[in-house]
Amino acid sequence: MTDQLVGNAVVSPYKELMSFEYLYAFKGTSRSKVSKIIEENGGLPSKAVTSAEGFFPDKDKQNEVIDYVRSRLGNFSILVDGTPQFPDGLRGQKNPLPIFYYRGDISLTESRCVSVVDTRHPDERGAKAAKRLTSALARRGITVVMGLAAGIDTIVARTALDLDGHVVGVIGTPIHRYYPKENHSLQDLVATKGLLISQVPIYRYDHQPFKTQRYYFPERNITMAALSEATVIVEAGETSGTRTQAKACIDQHKKLILLPEVAENTTWGKKFLDEGAVEAHSVADVLSIIGA
């Protein structure tokens, strides 16, 4: 990992990565806590570690984290906040993190990006709508952002790739892991032909209880909203995790577009319409709303 220029200072991505991973290794740490302590200490994980540890650093724990993460380096890169290529949108999300892991074409974060979101268990109507919308966006050179989960995410990714469209996959697991497992080849294809992004710490994820790992998926949706100028929600139920991305869009002043299945048949969809979301009845409506 080559040094990166942050402001007028040269920083080591390797050092910042290990510091970031170590902050997440503290007992009881959460994204909000990590974000807060880094923000309060100059915006760099290495400075935050010095402050958090005080005069008595836990060198054994630090070495354990470094050895664990170092053994998994090799096929991904990281970007540190403050460098020219760090996406501006990520700074506007709730509890922003100063680092993300990626594979692929980082320049896609500077392109026009639109998230297409739906349920993991779509009906035939929802699947067709997602395909039509994705095809229209891809043919216009708009980068399609998806979460690479089962269901619609998979359909959206394959549809865009089949058209040689631009794709960004944002995952809720560490950059070197695959979920669901059946999307292993698809995730690698997105990383090869597009861009794959994660903000999930490697050491913490692998050392926390399995049931708590699911909390990274809502955080993934917040990142998707931050990277995109608009989010289109095709289909989702009353308890869908998609609500997290919808709220993030409103909070970040991004365009939130709801198809009728959501806008008219869910209480939360109706609520977001009152807060600034827009209902779209066709692909043409979506393209008009985003100015394509």
pLDDT score, position 5: 55
Q: Tell me: the pLDDT tens digits for 80-128?
A: 998 888 998 898 888 899 999 999 999 999 999 999 998 777 788 888 9
**Rounded Cα distance, 55 and 88, in Å:** 35
Task: Give the residue-averaged pLDDT of 224-242.
Answer: 91
Task: Give the residue-averaged pLDDT of 173-192.
Answer: 95
Q: Is the pLDDT of residue 246 over 60?
A: yes
Instruction: Quote the percentage of the chain above a pLDDT of 90.
Output: 71
Please classify residue 205 by burial: count the beta carbons closer than 10 Å to its beta carbon, then call 0-12 exposed, 13-18 middle and 19+ buried.
middle
Beta carbons of 52 and 23 less than 8 angstroms apart = yes
Domain ranges of the chain: 4-103, 106-289
**Rounded Cα distance, 79 and 101, in Å:** 7
Selection from 162-166, 177-181, 261-265 with the highest mean pLDDT? 162-166
Q: Tell me: the pLDDT tens digits for 14-62?
A: 999 999 999 999 877 889 999 999 999 888 999 899 887 777 778 899 9
DSSP track, 113-167: EEEEE--SS--HHHHHHHHHHHHHHHHTTPEEEE---TTHHHHHHHHHHHTT--E
Tell me the whole-structure pTM to 2 decimals.
0.92
Which CATH topology does 106-289 take? Rossmann fold (3.40.50)
pLDDT band at 6 (very low <50, low <70, confident <90, very high): low
pLDDT score, position 8: 55
Task: Give the residue-averaged pLDDT of 138-144.
Answer: 97
pLDDT score, position 203: 96
Beta carbons of 256 and 272 less than 8 angstroms apart = yes
pLDDT band at 151 (very low <50, low <70, confident <90, very high): confident
User: Going by DSSP bridges, is the β-strand pair 255-258/113-117 parallel, antiparallel, or unpaired?
Assistant: unpaired
pLDDT score, position 123: 82
Give the DSSP letter of residue 54: T
Instruction: Quote the percentage of the chain above a pLDDT of 70.
Output: 96
pLDDT score, position 83: 84
